[in-house]
Chains A and B, each alone.
Chain A
Amino acid sequence: TQTVSQSDAHVTVFEGDSVELRCNYSYGGSIYLSWYIQHHGRGLQFLLKYYSGNPVVQGVNGFEAEFSKSDSSFHLRKASVHWSDSAVYFCAARNYGGSGNKLIFGTGTLLSVKP
């Protein structure tokens, strides 16, 4: 079974802190990995994705993520968070060439940024 796991259900930091949200996957073969953000009462918004090349990918609003094949991870980072970054973050994976063009989502990490 292909899975995406986000081990932290809730992360709390102060404004200006750095943060890392963790994502691990179990997939065979080539894989697309992506992160999404969901503010309260809104739909998910795409942040960034990785397929190949430089393992560190840049997204919007200062977010970046690093792919590690050896750790089966795709952790999301931000150097200095703002209160508006408070949201739920979802990691997702798609097996390249797999059927259905389906994404498998993690259960999400709620990021709370305190002033």
Chain B
Amino acid sequence: EAAVTQSPRNKVAVTGGKVTLSCNQTNNHNNMYWYRQDTGHGLRLIHYSYGAGSTEKGDIPDGYKASRPSQENFSLILELATPSQTSVYFCASGDLGEQYFGPGTRLTVL
């Protein structure tokens, strides 16, 4: 079965601090995605990747960077965290019209 894992599962950060969210997939999918989910906004795409070494901006990339060092790993980086980035973050991998999601990371920025 498809497997996407995320770490940490919960994170409390301070404003201005650096946060790195990690994602690992064992599906051998080329494409990986980072979303955030907020009440009233549904799922919004932050960054995505076509494969190792590639990152692309999604619909709301401001304040976020991404890194895809390998087929399996895709990180989301908040260089200077702000309270507006408090959210639940989901990583996904997939091809065509089918994506497999991780369990999510709940990030609180104080």
Contact = CB atoms under 8 A, between A and B. Distances in A.
Interface of A: 32-34, 36, 41-46, 49, 51, 90, 92-94, 100-103, 105-108
Interface stretch (B11-19, B68-76, B77-85, B92-100): B92-100
Contact of A92 (B48, B56, B97): B97
Main secondary structure of the interface of B (DSSP, over half): strand
Please list the 5 inter-chain residue pairs (A to B) with the smallest Cβ-Cβ separation, ordered nearest first.
A32-B97, A43-B101, A44-B101, A107-B42, A105-B43
A43 B42 contact: no
A103 B48 CA distance: 11
Nearest to B56: A100
A74 to B, nearest CB: 11
Contact of B96 (A32, A45, A105, A106): A32
Contact of A42 (B56, B98, B104): B104
Given A36-B99, A43-B90, A105-B42, 17 more contacts: A33-B97, A34-B97, A42-B103, A43-B4, A43-B102, A43-B104, A44-B92, A44-B101, A46-B99, A46-B100, A49-B97, A51-B96, A51-B97, A101-B31, A101-B50, A103-B45, A106-B42
A106 B43 CA distance: 8
B101 A101 contact: no
B58 interface: yes
Contact of B98 (A49, A90, A102, A107): A49
Given A42-B103, A43-B90, A102-B58, A94 B42 contact: no
Contacts of A44: 43, 90, 92, 99, 101
A15 B41 CA distance: 29
A90 B97 contact: no
B37 to A, nearest CB: 9
B20 to A, nearest CB: 19
B95 A43 contact: no
A57 to B, nearest CB: 11
Contacts of B42: 90, 105-108
